[in-house]
Amino acid sequence: MVRRLLFLNGLAIVAVVCNHATAWAYTAMFWWTDRYCPVIAPNYDQLGTLPYYGVVVVNKLAIFSVPAFLFVTGFFVAYAARGNHSTLGWKMVKVRIRSLLVPYLIWSIVIFVGDFLDGTTYAPVEYLERLASGRAVPAYYYILVLCQFYLLAPLVALIAKTRGRQLLFGSALVLLGFISLWYLRLFGRLYGVEMPAVDLMIKLLPMSSSVRYLFFFSFGVVSGFRVQQLKLWLARLKWGLLLALVVLTPLAIVESELMFRATGMDWRSSPFTIASCLYVVAFVLCFLAFDQVSIPCSRLIYQLGRASFGIYLLHQPVLEFIARAIQKFVPWILAYQVLFLPLIVALAVGGPLLFMTAVARSPVRKSYRYLFG
């Protein structure tokens, strides 16, 4: 099971990069169109074309990434807490948070320096605000969410040991309440109904990332305490889970795209719709249930799983650098999403991995844990 979870981590980091790379694919199709076609940008002629829908599918399929990370994190929290009467030790929590925050601070500062050299500066207070909210780059919010879950881990582990079903039910209700707000806004957009209270609550949602992801973390913790029960349950239901995945995958894609077309609400990158949440859960459980199915490039996926945090730290700046370099020097590639999207994903995964490997084998290898956790 542990090895399978590291494979899941490896797939999840590739999915994260795919998810963020699709933003550059949309940019290439609509905002950089004048670099390879005689048109004025922005140009939306490619909306509804086969390349567009290909990007939409990649975008939606990749949404399992962060929930899968949190499931794996929760599982290993339970593994660390087994047999410990005080559930999870604060010493371990401190070590894990430090291993996350030190690289986070280092690379945030590096990004701020890069922004400064590029001509983008902020007031001193805004630098602090960006550090406190994980906004050096958009993806860094997840690192602070992870730190919050490690702070909650002793309590969650204690509840999961004794009242696992109640924990899952309660966290699922919280997630459903969060999702309901988006559906209420959707209803308002579709029928022209003003809902100021709903809009106000949604504005506050960026502050509650740990709340909306609580179910996935709790699911991992409960599963980690009940591994044998989970294995038996998965063996009994694996074909039903596969059928659910086959049904839910297109449903999640179609739902998000239809709502985007009807209201402009972009759910394509979000796991927080009913169909999307069910797809994520079905994907994770199917991956664990069919543990005898071999994975292509398994050694590489395993290595990516072990290096996932370092890749996560570096991938978004690398994606931007590569996309802008292509836009400037070889813009013809932008016209072919079947080439552009796989290329930037491969470089944004492989580049950080090669850099991490080089640091690990260099004279400064002692700095590895400070740079990459």
The tokens of 352 are what?
């950080």
pLDDT digits (tens, 9 = 90+) for 113-168: 999 998 999 999 999 999 998 999 999 999 999 999 999 999 999 999 999 999 99
pLDDT digits (tens, 9 = 90+) for 172-221: 999 998 888 888 888 887 787 887 877 777 666 654 567 889 999 999 99
pTM over 0.95: no
Mean of all residue pLDDT scores within the chain: 91
Does residue 176 contact residue 148 with C-beta atoms inside 8 Å?
no
Residue 273: burial class (beta carbons within 10 Å; 0-12, 13-18, 19+): buried
Statement: residue 84 has pLDDT above 60: no
Residue ranges making up the domain that contains 186 = 2-372
At residue 314, the pLDDT reads 97
- Residue 178 CA to residue 334 CA, distance in Å, equals 37
- Which amino acid, 14? V
- Residue 55 CA to residue 67 CA, distance in Å, equals 21
pLDDT interval class at 266 (50, 70, 90): confident
Q: What is the mean pLDDT of residues 1-6?
A: 85
Count Cβ atoms below 10 Å from residue 342 Cβ, excluding itself: 13
pLDDT digits (tens, 9 = 90+) for 338-361: 999 999 999 999 999 999 999 999
Whether residue 42 has a cis bond before it, omega within 30° of 0: yes
pLDDT digits (tens, 9 = 90+) for 24-67: 999 999 999 999 999 998 999 999 999 999 999 999 999 999 99
Percent residues over pLDDT 90 in the chain: 75
Query: How many independent structural domains does the chain possess?
Result: 1
pLDDT digits (tens, 9 = 90+) for 147-156: 999 999 999 9
SS3 of residue 157 by DSSP: helix
- Residue 111 CA to residue 106 CA, distance in Å, equals 9
Query: Could you tell me which residues come within 8 angstroms of residue 289 by beta carbon, excluding any fewer than 6 positions away?
Result: 234, 235, 237, 238, 241, 242
At residue 1, the pLDDT reads 76
Q: How far is CA 24 from the centre of its chain?
A: 16
The DSSP H or E segment spanning 80 is: helix 65-81
